[in-house]
C-alpha cells in the first residue's frame, strides 16, 4: 500500500509558520499527523511482535527444559516414585486411549448434528437456530465446568473415577467444534450439486452423504483434527473424571493416567526427576498439538 | 405394486429415518447444555440454601468451620480478567491493524497463522511458562521497583505493595492477556476486513493518513464487532483454569494489593475439588461457583452475539 501523501498544507497555515512560503513543505499540523500515523504503525507492529515473541518464548522454554528429558526410557517406562527412573508410558497410552475413544463418540454425533444444521436447518428453522446457538454456548463454556458436569453425571452415580468418563468429558468438549465446522464446510457445497443429485433420482440421504459430505470431506476432516488437537491438551475436565493413575492401566472403568494430568501433578512436585518429567510431557503435548495444527493449516491453504 | 414404487417407498422411509437420526443428534447437543446447567444448579442448591445471600458477600472460605463465602474468588476473577482485558485489547487491536492494513498480504498470512498457533497451545503450558518466566520477572524486577517507589503514595500505594513473590493478580492478568489476545485478534481481523474498501479509499482520497483512516473510518464502522470480539475474549478469560492455577497463588483473601496471591473462581474449583468428598457442603459450594461461572460465560456470549449481530 502506498503511503497516503499528506497534502500541501493550506497556504494560510504555511503563511503563519513560515515567512518564505514553500507550498510543498508540510506544515506543523501535517507533521503532527504524520508523526501520529508513524507512532500508531510502530505501536501496532510492536503489539503483534510481542505475541510472536511470546510464542517463541514458550517454545524456547519448552525445548530448553524438556528436550533433555526425552529418552527411550521416558517413553517406555511407567510413572513411578521419585528417584526410581520412571517414565511417561502409561500417561501417553492413557491420553491416546481417552482422546481416541472421545473422538469415536464425538465425531459421528458431531457430523450428524452438523449435517442436520446445514441440510435441514437453513432459514426459518427455529429448532436449528437454537441448536446452533447452544453449540456456540457449549463451545465457549469453561472446560472445567464440563469436567464438573461429567463428574456429576458419570462419576458420582458409579462411585468411582474412570477413563471412560474422562473420554466422555473430552467428547463433550470436542462435539460443538465438530458440529460447527461440519456445518460451515457443508454450506460451502454449491446447491447445484444437490439439485444435480436429486435430478438423477438419488434419495436425499444419498445426496447428502455421497455428494455433499464427499465434496466437503477435507474441511470436515480439518474440523475433526482441530478438535483432536484441542482435546489432547485439555487438563481441567480430566481432573474430575479420569483422575490420573500412577500405574499402567488400560481398563476404561478404572482411573486412568493422561499426559496433561501427569504434567499437572509433577510440575509442582519438589523432586527433580518429577519436574523434569513434567517438562518433557509438556514438550510432547505441545508439539503434538502444534503439529496437528500446522499440518491442518498448511494442507487447507491449497 | 410395481417394483419401482416399492423401492421409492422404501427410499422415502429411509429418508425419514435418516432425518430422525440427525434430529436426535441435534437434540443431544441441546440436552448436553441443559444437563450441564441443571446439574450445576442442583449440585449447588445445598450451598445456596444454606448460606443465602451471605454466600456472595462473605469473604471467608473456611473448610474447617464448613463455612463458605465466595466474595474472594469472585473478586479475583473480576480483577484478573479486567487486567487481562486492559493488556489484551490494545495488543489485539494493534495486531489486527498490522495484519489487515499495514503488512503485505503474504506476510500477514504467515504472521496471522503463527499467532493463531499461540491460541492452540494448551492452557496448562501457559501456566508452566508463566510460572517459569513471568513470575520470577515480576518478583525480581517489577515488584521491588513498585514497592520502593510507590509505597508512600496515597491511594495508589496499597495497590502495588506486598511481599515480592511474583504470583498474583497482575501475573495472571498478563498470562491471560497473551492467551486471549489471539482470539480477539482473529475476530478483529475479520471485522476490519469487512469494512467496505470504498470507505477506506475515500478517506485516503481526502488525504487522511493510515491511522486517521483507522480511527475515524474503520473503528466507528466496526465498533459493535470489536466490542463483540472483546466480550468473547472476556468470556474466555473468565473461565480459564489451568494457567491461572499455576500463577495466581491460590489464597482466598480479599485485599487491595494487585500483586498479592489471590484465587479465582475456576482455580478455586480445580484446587479444592480433590479435597471435597461427594455430597459435602464444600463440593456443593464448588458446584454453586461452577453455576455462577456458567451464567457469566453464557451472558458474555449472548452479549457478544447481540453486539455482532447489530451491524450485519
Q: What is the pTM of this model?
A: 0.90
Give the torsion sign (CA, A165, A169, A174, A180): positive
Q: Dump pLDDT digits (tens) for B146-179.
A: 888 887 777 777 778 778 888 989 999 999 999 9
User: By the 8 A CB rule, do A252 and A158 touch?
Assistant: no
The pLDDT of residue B310 is: 55
Q: Do residues A95 and A41 both lie within one domain? A: no
What is the share, in percent, of chain B residues with pLDDT greater than 70?
A: 95
Q: Dump pLDDT digits (tens) for A106-140.
A: 999 999 999 999 999 887 789 999 999 999 999 99
CB contact under 8 A, B207 and A4: yes
Task: Tell me which of A5-19, B12-26, B216-230 is least confident.
Answer: A5-19
Contacts with B308 from chain A: Cβ below 8 Å:
none
The pLDDT of residue A19 is: 55
Q: Do residues A80 and A43 both lie within one domain? A: no
Chain-centre distance for alpha carbon A243: 23
Could you tell me if A115 lies within 8 Å of chain B, comparing CB atoms?
A: yes
Q: Do residues A49 and A140 both lie within one domain? A: no
- Domain assignment present for A4: no
Could you tell me if A10 lies within 8 Å of chain B, comparing CB atoms?
A: no
Q: Do residues A93 and A24 both lie within one domain? A: no
Q: Dump pLDDT digits (tens) for A259-274.
A: 999 999 999 888 888 9
Q: What is the mean pLDDT of chain A?
A: 88
- Domain assignment present for A272: yes
What is the CATH number for A77? 1.10.3720.10
Q: Dump pLDDT digits (tens) for B211-253.
A: 999 989 999 999 888 998 999 899 999 999 999 999 998 888 8
Pairing of strands B67-68, B61-62: antiparallel
Judged against a pLDDT cut of 70, whether residue B195 lies above it is answered with yes
User: By the 8 A CB rule, do B263 and B250 touch?
Assistant: yes
DSSP letter (8 states) at residue A6: P
Which grid coordinates are listed for A30? 501535517
Judged against a pLDDT cut of 70, whether residue A9 lies above it is answered with no
Q: How confident is the model at residue B312 (pLDDT cuts 50, 70, 90)?
A: very low
Judged against a pLDDT cut of 60, whether residue B288 lies above it is answered with yes
User: By the 8 A CB rule, do B208 and B216 touch?
Assistant: yes
Q: Do residues A79 and A43 both lie within one domain? A: no
Give the torsion sign (CA, A28, A34, A37, A43): negative
Alpha helix (H) residue ranges in chain A: 11-17, 28-66, 72-76, 89-115, 126-140, 143-150, 156-158, 163-187, 191-199, 204-206, 213-215, 217-232, 236-239, 259-267, 272-301
Q: Do residues A45 and A175 both lie within one domain? A: no
DSSP letter (8 states) at residue A9: P
- Domain assignment present for A9: no
- Domain assignment present for A86: yes
Judged against a pLDDT cut of 60, whether residue A16 lies above it is answered with no
User: By the 8 A CB rule, do A219 and A183 touch?
Assistant: no
The pLDDT of residue B62 is: 87
The pLDDT of residue A46 is: 96
**DSSP H or E run through B75:** helix B71-97
Chain-centre distance for alpha carbon B227: 14
Q: Do residues A235 and A192 both lie within one domain? A: yes
d(CA B52, CA B91): 41
Judged against a pLDDT cut of 70, whether residue B270 lies above it is answered with yes
DSSP lists the bridge partners of residue A243 as A256
Judged against a pLDDT cut of 60, whether residue A17 lies above it is answered with no
Contacts with B122 from chain A: Cβ below 8 Å:
232-235, 260, 285-286, 289
Which of the residues B6, B23, B24, B32 would you substitute to probe the A interface, choosing the one with the greatest number of A C-beta atoms within 10 Å?
A: B32
The pLDDT of residue B6 is: 63
Task: Report the pLDDT averaged over residues A55-80.
Answer: 92
- Per-residue buried b or exposed e for B105-132, using 16+ beta carbons within 10 Å of the residue's own CB: eeebeebbebbbbbbbbbbbbbbbbbbb
Chain-centre distance for alpha carbon A189: 25
Judged against a pLDDT cut of 90, whether residue B74 lies above it is answered with yes
Which grid coordinates are listed for A107? 465425531
User: By the 8 A CB rule, do A226 and A181 touch?
Assistant: yes
Judged against a pLDDT cut of 70, whether residue B283 lies above it is answered with yes
Contacts with B293 from chain A: Cβ below 8 Å:
142, 144-145
Domain assignment of residue A229, given as a range = 72-301
- Domain assignment present for A8: no
- Domain assignment present for A67: no
What is the share, in percent, of chain A residues with pLDDT greater than 70?
A: 91
Q: How confident is the model at residue B59 (pLDDT cuts 50, 70, 90)?
A: confident
Judged against a pLDDT cut of 50, whether residue B1 lies above it is answered with no
**Residue B64 main-chain phi, psi, to 5 deg:** -70, -45
CB contact under 8 A, A55 and B115: yes
Name the nearest CA neighbour of A119 among A16, A36, A193.
Answer: A193
CB contact under 8 A, B181 and A232: no
The pLDDT of residue A8 is: 47
d(CA B30, CA B38): 12
User: What part of A 153-212 touches B (C-beta under 8 Å)?
Assistant: 153, 156, 172, 175-176, 179, 203-205, 208
Which grid coordinates are listed for A3? 503511503
d(CA B81, CA B262): 13
Task: Tell me which of A5-9, A38-42, B132-136, B256-260 is least confident.
Answer: A5-9
Q: What is the mean pLDDT of chain B?
A: 89
Residue A285's closest chain B neighbor by CA? B122
Q: How many domains does chain A have?
A: 2
Contacts with A268 from chain B: Cβ below 8 Å:
246
- Domain assignment present for A11: no
For A114, residues 6+ apart whose C-beta sits below 8 A from its C-beta are A178, A179, A180, A181, A182, A183, A186, A220
**Nearest CA distance, A64 vs chain B (angstrom):** 12
Q: Do residues A126 and A152 both lie within one domain? A: yes
Judged against a pLDDT cut of 70, whether residue B2 lies above it is answered with no
Which grid coordinates are listed for B124? 496448562
The pLDDT of residue A80 is: 84
Q: Do residues A289 and A225 both lie within one domain? A: yes
User: By the 8 A CB rule, do B127 and B174 touch?
Assistant: no
The pLDDT of residue A130 is: 93
Q: Do residues A82 and A155 both lie within one domain? A: yes
Task: Report the pLDDT averaged over residues A201-211.
Answer: 90
User: By the 8 A CB rule, do A215 and A188 touch?
Assistant: no
Q: Do residues A38 and A99 both lie within one domain? A: no
- Domain assignment present for A196: yes
d(CA B33, CA A130): 12
The pLDDT of residue A276 is: 92
Domains of chain B by start residue, with CATH: 54-311 (1.10.3720.10)
**Nearest CA distance, A41 vs chain B (angstrom):** 7
Q: Do residues A165 and A42 both lie within one domain? A: no
Amino acid at each position: 500500500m502506498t503511503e497516503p501523501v499528506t497534502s500541501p498544507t493550506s497556504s494560510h497555515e504555511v503563511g503563519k509558520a513560515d515567512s518564505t512560503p514553500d507550498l510543498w513543505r508540510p506544515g506543523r499540523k501535517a507533521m503532527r499527523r504524520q508523526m501520529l500515523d508513524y507512532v500508531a504503525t510502530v505501536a501496532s507492529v510492536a503489539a503483534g511482535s510481542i505475541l510472536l515473541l511470546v510464542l517463541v518464548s514458550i517454545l524456547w522454554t519448552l525445548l530448553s527444559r524438556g528436550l533433555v528429558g526425552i529418552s527411550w526410557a521416558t517413553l517406555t517406562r511407567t510413572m513411578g516414585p521419585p528417584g526410581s527412573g520412571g517414565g511417561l508410558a502409561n500417561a501417553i497410552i492413557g491420553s491416546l486411549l481417552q482422546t481416541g475413544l472421545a473422538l469415536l463418540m464425538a465425531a459421528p454425533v458431531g457430523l450428524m448434528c452438523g449435517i442436520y444444521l446445514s441440510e435441514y436447518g437453513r432459514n426459518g428453522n427455529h429448532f436449528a437456530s437454537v441448536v446452533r446457538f447452544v453449540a456456540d454456548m457449549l463451545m465457549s463454556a469453561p472446560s472445567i465446568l464440563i469436567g464438573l458436569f461429567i463428574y456429576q453425571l458419570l462419576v458420582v452415580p458409579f462411585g468411582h473415577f474412570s477413563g471412560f468418563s474422562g473420554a466422555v468429558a473430552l467428547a463433550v468438549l470436542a462435539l460443538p467444534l465438530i458440529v460447527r465446522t461440519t456445518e460451515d464446510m457443508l454450506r460451502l457445497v454449491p446447491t447445484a450439486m444437490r439439485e444435480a443429485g436429486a435430478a438423477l433420482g438419488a434419495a436425499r440421504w444419498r445426496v447428502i452423504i455421497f455428494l455433499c459430505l464427499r465434496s466437503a470431506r477435507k474441511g470436515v476432516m480439518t474440523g475433526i483434527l482441530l478438535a483432536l488437537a484441542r482435546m489432547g491438551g485439555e487438563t481441567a475436565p480430566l481432573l474430575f473424571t479420569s483422575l490420573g493413575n500412577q500405574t499402567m492401566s488400560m481398563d476404561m472403568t478404572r482411573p486412568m493416567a493422561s499426559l496433561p494430568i501427569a504434567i499437572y501433578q509433577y510440575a509442582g512436585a519438589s523432586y527433580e526427576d518429577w519436574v523434569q518429567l513434567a517438562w518433557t510431557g509438556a514438550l510432547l503435548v505441545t508439539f503434538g498439538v502444534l503439529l496437528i495444527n500446522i499440518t491442518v493449516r498448511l494442507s487447507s491453504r491449497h | 405394486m410395481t417394483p419401482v414404487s416399492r423401492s421409492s417407498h422404501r427410499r422415502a422411509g429411509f429418508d425419514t429415518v435418516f432425518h430422525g437420526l440427525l434430529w436426535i443428534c441435534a437434540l443431544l447437543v441441546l440436552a448436553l447444555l441443559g444437563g450441564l446447567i441443571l446439574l450445576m444448579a442442583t449440585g449447588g442448591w445445598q450451598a445456596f440454601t444454606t448460606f443465602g445471600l451471605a454466600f456472595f458477600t462473605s469473604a471467608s472460605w473456611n473448610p474447617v468451620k464448613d463455612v463458605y463465602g465466595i466474595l474472594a474468588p469472585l473478586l479475583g476473577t473480576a480483577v484478573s480478567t479486567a487486567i487481562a482485558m486492559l493488556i489484551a485489547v490494545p495488543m489485539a487491536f494493534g495486531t489486527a491493524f498490522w495484519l489487515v492494513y499495514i503488512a503485505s498480504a503474504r506476510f500477514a498470512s504467515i504472521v496471522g497463522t503463527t499467532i493463531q498457533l499461540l491460541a492452540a497451545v494448551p492452557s496448562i503450558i501457559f501456566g508452566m511458562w508463566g510460572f517459569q518466566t513471568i513470575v520470577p520477572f515480576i518478583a525480581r524486577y517489577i515488584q521491588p521497583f513498585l514497592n520502593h517507589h510507590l509505597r508512600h503514595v496515597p491511594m495508589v500505594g496499597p495497590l502495588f505493595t506486598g511481599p515480592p513473590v511474583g504470583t498474583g493478580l497482575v501475573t495472571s492478568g498478563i498470562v491471560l492477556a497473551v492467551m486471549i489476545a489471539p482470539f480477539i485478534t482473529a475476530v478483529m481481523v475479520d471485522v476490519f476486513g469487512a469494512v467496505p474498501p470504498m470507505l477506506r479509499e475515500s478517506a485516503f482520497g481526502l488525504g487522511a493518513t493510515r491511522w486517521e483512516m483507522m480511527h475515524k473510518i474503520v473503528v466507528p464502522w466496526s465498533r459493535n464487532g470489536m466490542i463483540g470480539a472483546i466480550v468473547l475474549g472476556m468470556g474466555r478469560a473468565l473461565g480459564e483454569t489451568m494457567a491461572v492455577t499455576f500463577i495466581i497463588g491460590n489464597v482466598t483473601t480479599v485485599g487491595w494489593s494487585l500483586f498479592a496471591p489471590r484465587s479465582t473462581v475456576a482455580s478455586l474449583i480445580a484446587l479444592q475439588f480433590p479435597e471435597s468428598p461427594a455430597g459435602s457442603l464444600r463440593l456443593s459450594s464448588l458446584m454453586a461457583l461452577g453455576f455462577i461461572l456458567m451464567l457469566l460465560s453464557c451472558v458474555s456470549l449472548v452479549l457478544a452475539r447481540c453486539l455482532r449481530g447489530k451491524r450485519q
